[in-house]
């Protein structure tokens, strides 16, 4: 899966006349990429930033791809870790596949190991969306005991395995996002530790406020069922939805510790959602401001973006776009010591964006 013909064999025909082709077999370049797209993030508040997707599906529930392809896709797309979270209750292909709920993980794990990719064993507890909701259980040991009829008992069974439990897409398939009696009971019992503020193509601003108020890990996830269309993402100029996790170490235990501590940023559609202190830390680590020239009346600066996340910044009475890993310039009056910036693409509460000063030398 991760291996290809040597470049010389793939590209040979680009440099030879067709009259010299081997009549038995002619090689052409493969259709799929074999090169990983590396994402770049500086350390934030002293922590390593890992790119993770905590909500994905395979043919072992209602997904359309084999588990090892899901891993290959994530690794090539620059992710550091991923959870396989096939539905416990909804398995439309079960007539053709093994009924064990751990099978997708067991197929994918050897492929993940071959490239040093961190794979998290998980499952999705799927009940009526309008009253109960869907929940991902991460870092489980065995998905089979979680498959029980009672919805709360299913979550309790996951909790017994020390699972990290995420409330998925609270606003999906409903007109209004609100906390129902079932979820309120789960909160009271400490059975929800994270919540998706973004799922697939939906952002839930009100849910971000819940995450802040209830001190939950803030999650963005692809919830991918088919292929992650990298060509479409590139043409739109965005990355797949993911959660940026601030970890003490590059390991599964490091990811779990960071989730428990709530050190996450949701990344989606070139936007971030995070707690204010983490958002400020990300900005401070990602932006490098340097004075390059001074005149009698003005100082001239560059701002360099050290991360794979673009910034939309309003300052000096105008909106400035700073693409990922790029540099822009600006000028200020000679007596300026800072610029007051509103980061239009960083949300810190329900429909509230980050305001943060950048200091000037």
pLDDT of residue 16: 57
Residue 342's domain comprises 287-359
Instruction: Let me know whether 245 and 333 are in one domain.
Output: no
User: 3: pLDDT confidence band, cut at 50, 70 and 90?
Assistant: very low
Is 20 part of any domain?
no
Among residues 6, 80, 101, the alpha carbon closest in space to that of 36 is found at 80
Name the domain boundary from 217, 244, 274.
Answer: 274
Instruction: Let me know whether 250 and 189 are in one domain.
Output: yes
Instruction: Let me know whether 187 and 296 are in one domain.
Output: no
Domain CATH code at residue 261: 3.20.20.140
Instruction: Let me know whether 61 and 208 are in one domain.
Output: yes
55/335 Cα distance (integer angstroms): 50
Name the domain boundary from 210, 245, 274.
Answer: 274
Domain CATH code at residue 315: 2.60.40
Residues written for the chain: 361
pLDDT of residue 15: 54
Total domains, the chain? 2
pLDDT in tens, 187-216: 999 999 999 999 999 999 999 999 999 999
Instruction: Let me know whether 238 and 264 are in one domain.
Output: yes
Name the domain boundary from 240, 274, 308.
Answer: 274
**DSSP 8-state code for residue 69:** H
What's the rounded mean pLDDT across residues 291-316?
A: 97
What does the H/E/C string look like for 258-321?
A: HHHHCCEEEEECCEEEECHHHHHHHHHHHEEEEEEEECCCEEEEEEEECCCCCEEEEECCEEEE
Please report where in the chains the tokens 């401001």 appear, as a residue. 289
Residue 53 in 3-state DSSP?
strand
pLDDT in tens, 235-293: 999 999 999 999 999 999 999 999 999 999 999 999 999 999 999 999 999 999 999 99
User: 164: pLDDT confidence band, cut at 50, 70 and 90?
Assistant: very high
Instruction: Let me know whether 139 and 227 are in one domain.
Output: yes
The vertex-35 CA angle with 103 and 8, nearest 5°, equals: 120
User: 27: pLDDT confidence band, cut at 50, 70 and 90?
Assistant: confident
Backbone angles phi, psi at 300, to 5 degrees: -115, 135
DSSP track, 203-272: E-HHHHHHHHHHTPEEEEE--BSS---HHHHHHHT-PPPEEEEEESSSSHHHHHHHHHHT-EEEEETTEE
Please report where in the chains the tokens 């329900």 appear, as a residue. 350
Is 114 part of any domain?
yes
Is 22 part of any domain?
no
pLDDT of residue 248: 98
Instruction: Let me know whether 60 and 159 are in one domain.
Output: yes
Instruction: Let me know whether 209 and 297 are in one domain.
Output: no
């Amino acid at each position: 899966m991760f291996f290809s013909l040597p470049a010389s064999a793939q590209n040979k025909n680009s440099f030879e006349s067709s009259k010299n082709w081997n009549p038995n077999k002619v090689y052409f370049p493969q259709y799929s990429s074999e090169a990983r797209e590396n994402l770049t993030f500086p350390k934030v508040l002293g922590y390593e930033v890992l790119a993770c997707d905590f909500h994905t599906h395979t043919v072992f529930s209602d997904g359309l791809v084999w588990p090892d392809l899901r891993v290959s896709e994530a690794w090539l797309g620059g992710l550091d870790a991923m959870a396989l979270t096939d539905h416990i209750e909804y398995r439309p292909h079960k007539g053709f596949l093994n009924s064990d709920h751990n099978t997708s993980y067991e197929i994918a794990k050897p492929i993940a190991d071959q490239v040093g990719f961190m794979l998290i064993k998980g499952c999705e507890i799927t009940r009526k969306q309008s009253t109960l909701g869907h929940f991902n259980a991460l870092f489980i040991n065995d998905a089979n005991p979680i498959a029980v009829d009672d919805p709360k008992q299913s979550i309790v069974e996951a909790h017994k395995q020390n699972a990290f439990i995420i409330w998925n897409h609270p606003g999906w398939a409903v007109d209004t996002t609100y906390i129902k009696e079932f979820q309120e009971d789960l909160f009271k019992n400490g059975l929800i530790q994270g919540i998706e503020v973004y799922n697939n193509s939906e952002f839930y601003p009100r849910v971000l406020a819940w995450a802040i108020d209830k001190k939950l890990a803030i999650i963005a996830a692809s919830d991918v069922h088919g292929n992650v269309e990298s060509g479409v993402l590139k043409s739109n100029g965005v990355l797949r939805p993911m959660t940026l996790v601030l970890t003490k170490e590059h390991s599964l235990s490091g990811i779990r510790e960071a989730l428990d501590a709530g050190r996450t940023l949701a990344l989606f559609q070139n936007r971030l959602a995070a707690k204010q202190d983490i958002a400020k830390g990300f900005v401070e680590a990602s932006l490098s401001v340097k004075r390059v020239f001074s005149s009698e009346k003005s100082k001239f600066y560059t701002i360099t973006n050290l991360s794979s996340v673009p910034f939309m910044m309003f300052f000096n009475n105008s909106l400035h776009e700073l693409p990922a890993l790029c540099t822009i310039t600006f000028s200020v009056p000679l007596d300026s010591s800072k610029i007051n910036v509103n980061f239009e693409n960083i949300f810190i509460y329900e429909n509230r964006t980050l305001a943060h000063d950048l200091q000037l030398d």
